[in-house]
Amino acid sequence: MSDFDFDLFVIGGGSGGVRAARVAASEHGVKVGLAEEDRYGGTCVIRGCVPKKLMVFASGYSGMADEAQAYGWDIKPGTFDWHSFRKRLHGELDRLEAVYRKLLSGSGVETFDARAKIKDAHTVELSNGEVKTAKHILVATGGRPVRPDLPNADLGIVSDDIFHLEKLPKSILIIGGGYIACEFACILQGLGVEVTQYYRGAQILRGFDDEARGLVAESMRESGIDIHCGTNIVEMALEVDRGNADALSNSDAAMGATVNQAGELNRHNAAAREGSQGPIWVKSTNGNEKVFDTVLFATGRTPMTDDMGLEDVGVSLGRGNEIEVNEYSQTGVPSIYAIGDVTNRVNLTPVAIREGMAFVETVFAGNPTAVDHDLIPSAVFTQPEMGTVGLTEEQARDAGPVEIYATSFRPMQTAFAEQNQRVMMKLIVCEDTRVVLGCHIVAPNAGELIQMVGIAVKARLTKEQFDVTCAVHPTMSEELVTMRTPTRTA
């Protein structure tokens, strides 16, 4: 009989933690407990990938009427009903959470709707007062969005809040230039919101291929998104606060009104903290001042390691508060492991799931399995989408010599409708080995395309193997196997 309550205790009910828990229980007969303080499904299912992609789908219909008319359909543009969509959205999230709970219970995992802290190498304490022991502990608490260190930053919202808005704002300022900022800029613009975006860097989507992100930025601007690079927010306040402050400072009768106005300011501030929409006055680094209904901070995420007792038991945290682990997801405390965004390795749901599977294989199947973080395909769900796998052109130059095969064109569907949207297909090829080192696609459904190309790049196929593959015509993606002459070398 075991000296512990559980063989494995998982902290976190997101995709990685749930997969590890149920596979360990159902396939290896492990007694598993799992604690989740919020909703089951984690960031991806509840406040990330899934609701965001459903919003991408919703926003994509905005231009359909115009395009359909070019093809002979008598379709008139309509209006978007946020309340109707949001009701269906939350119904779907409820359904998915129920699926996750059912998967766990069906696998024999005992669940606890509570926050868990680590007391020692084999003990967790739950917020409901229970204490549980386990031979192994797996931390899979994920990450959360952060606000900048700025006065009145609490007036803005973060990505988690988007799905709970009572109504869509008429105007929004998005702070940030990463994939989350750009995706929501495209989504909200497609839903009819006037979108302005500030990013302190020289170009949005830093870290992605320069040519690809340049085309995405161009397309976003053409759609009506007002992007300001080299720009950041320096000051923000409720517009009513500024108006009342001016009245208090400029009016001879200010003294008599102070108490009533101060009470009104407090009520407005409380409403803002409860998620009420602006108007919010913003001053930027370029000197511009403007009022927006809502400000969205998409300025980064941080691992959820606060107040978990990790360092007290000897688990090391990195400079970004991430849990430091080895190639087998093991911390410096042998019985404690960590997977997913809380380790800040590659913050993608499929990666967290693979890390969870590798953990189970290592610990419960006796087969030490390191997670392969090389050549992971990914997509940015802007409009158009961007799909990427392998090296960017800029990274490849350092590994050179390389050949670049690239083409940009108007695809048949949009060209016929006399629309300006362009797509891009790009291959990075090692000049010596002929291996395709990277692929970058900017196009509708680029996420679907890059999944298939990711297989070829992961298999280290050569450019000549791409070349002997017969094209599917007429498609956008046929360009990937018909480009014969390098655009440039590096």
322 annotated binding-site participant: no
53 annotated binding-site participant: yes
pLDDT of residue 259: 40
pLDDT of residue 261: 44
Cβ neighbours for 472, distance < 8 A, ≥ 6 positions apart: 478
Does residue 419 sit within a domain? yes
Give the mean pLDDT per block of 10 residues along the chain (490 residues).
90 98 98 98 96 98 94 94 98 98 98 98 98 98 96 96 97 98 98 98 98 98 98 95 60 43 42 57 96 97 98 98 98 98 98 98 98 97 98 93 98 95 97 98 98 98 98 98 96
Whether cis (ω within 30° of 0) applies to the bond prior to 51 is no
Same domain, 13 and 133: yes
Same domain, 282 and 154: yes
> What is the DSSP-derived secondary structure letter of residue 119?
E
Domain count along the chain = 3
Q: Which two tokens stand for residue 477?
A: 């993606």
180 annotated binding-site participant: yes
314: left (phi over 0), alpha (psi -120 to 50) or beta: left
Q: Are 323 and 315 in contact (CB under 8 A)?
A: yes
Same domain, 97 and 228: no
pLDDT of residue 242: 76
181 annotated binding-site participant: yes
Measured between alpha carbons, how far is 346 from 343 in angstroms, rounded to an integer?
8
Does residue 221 sit within a domain? yes
Q: Which two tokens stand for residue 51?
A: 């609701």
> What is the CB neighbour count within 10 angstroms for residue 141?
30
In angstroms, the Cα distances linking 407 to 75, 211, 218, 424, 480 are 33, 11, 16, 6, 9
pLDDT of residue 272: 42
Same domain, 219 and 105: no
Same domain, 153 and 227: yes
Measured between alpha carbons, how far is 262 from 242 in angstroms, rounded to an integer?
12
Q: Are 297 and 315 in contact (CB under 8 A)?
A: no
DSSP-assigned states of every residue in 120-171: ETTEEEETTS-EEEEEEEEE---EEE---S-TTGGGSEEHHHHTT-SS--SE
Same domain, 284 and 173: yes
Measured between alpha carbons, how far is 359 from 24 in angstroms, rounded to an integer?
9
329: left (phi over 0), alpha (psi -120 to 50) or beta: left
Measured between alpha carbons, how far is 185 from 421 in angstroms, rounded to an integer?
17
Measured between alpha carbons, how far is 445 from 457 in angstroms, rounded to an integer?
19
Does residue 415 sit within a domain? yes
pTM for this model (two decimals): 0.93
Same domain, 350 and 418: no
Does residue 446 sit within a domain? yes
Does residue 257 sit within a domain? no
Domain containing 450: what range? 378-489
Give SS3 for 440: strand
In angstroms, the Cα distances linking 194 to 188, 217, 285, 319, 475 are 8, 16, 21, 37, 33
Measured between alpha carbons, how far is 351 from 330 in angstroms, rounded to an integer?
16
Same domain, 384 and 318: no
Cβ neighbours for 423, distance < 8 A, ≥ 6 positions apart: 384, 408, 409, 410, 411, 441, 442, 443, 444, 476
pLDDT of residue 74: 95
What's the burial of 130, exposed, middle or buried (CB within 10 Å: 0-12/13-18/19+)?
middle
123: left (phi over 0), alpha (psi -120 to 50) or beta: beta
Tell me how far the alpha carbon of residue 477 is from its chain's centroid: 26
Same domain, 13 and 42: yes
Q: Which two tokens stand for residue 435?
A: 């291996």
Same domain, 186 and 293: yes
341 annotated binding-site participant: yes
Looking at residue 60, its amino acid is G
CATH of the domain at 224: 3.50.50.60
CATH of the domain at 470: 3.30.390.30
pLDDT of residue 44: 96
Measured between alpha carbons, how far is 5 from 369 in angstroms, rounded to an integer?
26
Does residue 66 sit within a domain? yes
Q: Are 163 and 190 in contact (CB under 8 A)?
A: no
186 phi and psi, to 5 degrees? Answer: -70, -40
Looking at residue 419, its amino acid is Q
| Residues noted as catalytic | 473
Same domain, 170 and 216: yes
Looking at residue 418, its amino acid is E
- For 83, what's the count of Cα atoms within 13 Å in the CB-facing half-sphere? 2
Does residue 270 sit within a domain? no
Domain final residue, candidates 310, 341, 365: 365
Nearest to 193 by CA among 175, 220, 173, 170: 170
Same domain, 46 and 175: no
Q: Which two tokens stand for residue 162?
A: 């988007």
In DSSP terms, 131 is beta-bridged to 125
177 annotated binding-site participant: yes
178 annotated binding-site participant: yes
Does residue 226 sit within a domain? yes
